[in-house]
Chain A
């Protein structure tokens, strides 16, 4: 993605806030948020190599399988939780969303859009979509709960989750063009700021 997630969510992250990033990877996002917003941040990651990178960057990290539950973090009073491109990999995305909004005041969720026109063409030709954003075959992918922008917003409505802000990314990695007019068809990714 050409636009860095930190650029998009910068304005959503209050200075000096306490942040937890589920599926933090090598800790790059948190590192940028330390530098730009002086946040106190913790990453959650399962991959040892990525964890080593977090520690190398000085990013505090916890090794944990997010699917096993987020209950461990309920008492920590986070201002913001982040789940970037991971919610579709979870067994219970709906429960995870609600949990994130219990353990933090707000949360940022980003997800790939299965409604993107290229995915639809793939499906229309009778095949599971393979796109630059969803490059794996159906039997290899970790994405077990893919959804469209519309599906996700319907879930938020059903769960009484407020969408405070949202940004749609098109295939060029920016926010302009058709993805603004019809995100469900033209956005490859949705970035949401949620509140309960």
Chain B
């Protein structure tokens, strides 16, 4: 698979939804496959909360791509046919400009002074990337969870630039419960003694415990009760493979391990910023969702999963109903999904066929 990974600089900067401005910024971008002569085969993948530009294949720094099960040669999203683009979003910590990068104006790490960005800002920055790559229209824009919100926003913001959009395990806005979970996660980071009000870089520490606890909580919300029961049940952890002495059950050991791993990779300020992006998104802000979708021209494929309690299928159905009220050619399918909210990341026969058929139809 032809893969290119590069950091692209945008010297023109970007006006943010908040009114603030980034005078310049970088996006870490990965592409797979090749753009055809007619430039009609470009696909944009939007990553979810803790994802990055590395969607497919294996890389030294980021391991297996977050959507590798579905993206690659002869896979659901076939990189032999399509030119697939994915970028680390603004505010992230995988190479794009974010709280942990250097502020060009002060030559110091941004830290908490990095401006709050939004789904709309991400979409606008991805549009700038699109122009830079000389792509006139995306054949397909897709993502799951927070990535699905970006796909939805693309079809709202740039109706002539998206032919088809895939909105998976997503919602047009976060629920009160979603916000509540995120606030507990943020609180655990803020209360870590190493957080130093977001300026932990200056102290050469990271609020590791805070991020770890935040991720452990987050991880529970990504899985379903059924999945956890079948995977871990009430099994006890072997003495020899305990990551913490206090652990009794396998599920505890698993969360400890996942949290620990994540806390070494993810920036705490990015964690706070990304969760705020998720919380603040509301496609129908200032109006109804039906009005917000008024100009959408893209065909939509909305997929929800029964086992997802973070963004349950009902949220997808709300988008479908608003789409039908606007005469948008839109489909809504609920699949079983064995992995709770995370189901959108995993390939299954029906999920894969739906996406392939949708792209090719």
Question: Which residues of chain A come closer than 8 Å to B331, judged between CB atoms?
Answer: 54-55, 60-62
A113 CB, min distance to chain B CBs, angstroms? 33
Least distance between A110 CB and chain B CB atoms (Å) = 24
| Contact of A60 with B329 at beta-carbon distance under 8 Å, contacts A55-B357, A55-B361 already known | yes
Q: Are B332 and A62 in contact (CB under 8 A)?
A: yes
Chain A residues contacting B334 (CB-CB under 8 Å) are: 63
Which interface residue of B330, B333, B350 has the most chain A CB atoms within 10 A? B333
Whether, in the assembled complex, A57 has its beta carbon less than 8 Å from a beta carbon of chain B, the answer is: yes
> CA A107 – CA B62 in complex, angstroms?
55
**Contact A52/B321 with A40-B329, A58-B361 known, Cβ cut-off 8 Å:** no
| 18 more A-B residue pairs beyond the given contacts A60-B329, A63-B332, A73-B321, with a C-beta to C-beta distance below 8 A | A18-B327, A42-B324, A48-B333, A48-B335, A51-B350, A52-B350, A55-B331, A55-B353, A55-B357, A61-B333, A62-B320, A62-B333, A63-B333, A63-B334, A72-B321, A75-B321, A76-B321, A77-B325
CA of A58 to CA of B333, assembled, Å: 14
Q: Is the CB of A48 within 8 A of B361?
A: no
B10 beta carbon closer than 8 Å to chain A: no
**Smallest distance from the beta carbon of B352 to chain A beta carbons, Å?**
10
CB distance from B319 to the nearest CB of A (A): 12
A5-58: which residues lie under 8 A (CB-CB) from chain B? Answer: 18, 40, 42, 48, 51-52, 54-58
Whether B329 pairs with A55 at a CB distance below 8 angstroms is no
**Cβ of A73 and Cβ of B358 under 8 Å apart?**
no
Considering the complex, give the chain A residue whose CB is closest to the CB of B299: A60
Q: Does B276 contact A (CB under 8 A)?
A: no
Provide a sorted-by-A list of 26 A–B residue pairs whose CB atoms are within 8 angstroms. Answer: A40-B329, A42-B324, A48-B333, A51-B333, A51-B350, A52-B350, A52-B353, A52-B354, A55-B301, A55-B354, A55-B358, A55-B361, A56-B357, A57-B361, A60-B299, A60-B330, A60-B331, A62-B331, A62-B333, A63-B333, A72-B317, A72-B321, A73-B321, A75-B321, A75-B325, A76-B324
Residue of A18, A57, A75 with highest tally of chain B CB at under 10 A: A75
* B contact set with A: CB distance below 8 Å: 299, 301, 317, 320-321, 324-325, 327, 329-335, 350, 353-354, 357-358, 360-361
Give Cα distance in the complex from A72 to B334, angstroms: 15
Per-position binary interface string of chain A over residues 60-98, scored 1 when its CB falls under 8 Å from any chain B CB and 0 otherwise: 111100000000110111000000000000000000000
Bound CA–CA A60/B327 (angstroms)? 11
* Contact residues in B for A51 (Cβ distance below 8 Å): 333, 350, 354
Query: Which residue of chain B has its CB nearest to the CB of A77?
Result: B325
| Nearest CB in chain B to that of A52: its residue | B353
Q: How close is A21's CB to chain B, nearest CB, in angstroms?
A: 13
Q: Which residue of B lies closest to A58 (CB)?
A: B361
Q: By the criterion CB–CB under 8 Å, are B357 and A52 in contact? A: yes
Would A73 and B361 count as touching, CB distance under 8 A? no
Q: A56 vs B357: C-alpha distance in the bound complex, in angstroms?
A: 5
Cα A58 to Cα B361 with chains together (Å): 5
Chain A residues with Cβ under 8 A from B357's Cβ? 52, 55-56
When A51-B354, A52-B353, A57-B361 are in contact, do A40 and B325 touch as well, CB less than 8 Å? no
Within the complex, the shortest CB–CB distance from A37 to chain B, in Å, comes to 15
In the complex, are the beta carbons of B327 and A40 less than 8 A apart?
yes
Give the nearest-CB partner of B300 in chain A.
Answer: A60
Give Cα A76–Cα B299 distance, bound, in whole angstroms. Answer: 17
Q: A75 — which chain B residues lie within 8 A by C-beta? A: 321, 325
> Which residues of B are found within 8 Å of A76, using beta-carbon distances?
321, 324-325
Cα distance A48–B348 in the bound complex, in angstroms: 12
**Residues in B neighbouring A62, C-beta threshold 8 A:** 320, 331-333
**Which residues of A have CB within 8 Å of B350?**
48, 51-52
A74 and chain B: residue at smallest CB distance: B321
A75 to B327, CA, bound (A): 12
Q: How far is the CA of A62 from the CA of B334 in the complex (A)?
A: 9
User: Nearest chain-A residue to B361 (Cβ)?
Assistant: A58
Which residue of the partner chain A has the closest CB to B359? A55
A73 CA to B321 CA, complexed, in Å: 7
Inside 8 A of A60's CB, which chain B residues have their CB?
Answer: 299, 329-331
B324 cross-chain contacts in A, Cβ below 8 A: 42, 73, 76
List the 4 closest pairs (A to B, CB-CB), nearest first: A56-B357, A58-B361, A55-B357, A76-B324
Give A38 to B218 CA distance when docked, in angstroms: 47
Query: Using Cβ atoms and an 8 Å threshold, which residues of chain A touch B321?
Result: 72-73, 75-76
Q: A residues within 8 A CB of B317?
A: 72
Distance to closest chain B CB from A48 (angstroms):
5
Find the B residue at minimum CB distance from A48. Answer: B350
Bound complex: CA A54 to CA B361 (Å): 10
Q: Which residue of B lies closest to A44 (CB)?
A: B332
CA distance A55 to B332 in the complex (A): 10
In the complex, what distance in Å separates the CA atom of A77 from the CA atom of B334?
24
CA distance A51 to B324 in the complex (A): 17
